[in-house]
Structure 1
């Protein structure tokens, strides 16, 4: 895979993760569940965990400087 495609996918995952955590926090304030990841995957815990790991790895990829174009 080209690095530009990897970076684009990483940015999308981090953006989705940030929006999800913002909605989770807002949902807690409103005493409701606004976890978009859980809603999207139908509440299957294993799939949600995979998504969270991918979001975390994407954030690390974007945060750690390296030789990238």
Structure 2
């Protein structure tokens, strides 16, 4: 696997686990378990950059899936 795809996979795993925790915490009434927000909440621009990178990783994997 090329380096860009490796980075994309790691970002997708981080994003999937983060959203999974957000969903489980919401359903269980455990509050906010958004790990990205907890880690970078004091730096909103960095948090948004992580979300954009996860989105780009998803687009990259879609591209690789159909190519």
Shorter-chain TM range is: 0.7 to 0.9
In the other structure, the counterpart of 2:23 is 25
**TM-score, normalised with respect to structure 2:** 0.84
Q: By percentage of residues, which structure has more helix?
A: 2
Q: Could you tell me how far 1:27 is from its partner in structure 2? A: 1.6
Compute the RMSD of aligned alpha carbons: 1.5
Unmatched tracts of structure 2, length 5 or more? none
Deviations 1:15-59 (A, max 9, x none): 100000000111212240100001112432211110000000001
Instruction: Flag as ranges the 4+ runs of structure 1 deviating above 2 A.
Output: none
Decide whether the 8 Å contact of 2:41 with 2:47 is kept in 1: no
d(CA) in 2 for partners of 1:38 and 1:61? Answer: 24
- The count of aligned residue pairs is 64
**TM-score, normalised with respect to structure 1:** 0.82
Unmatched tracts of structure 1, length 5 or more? none
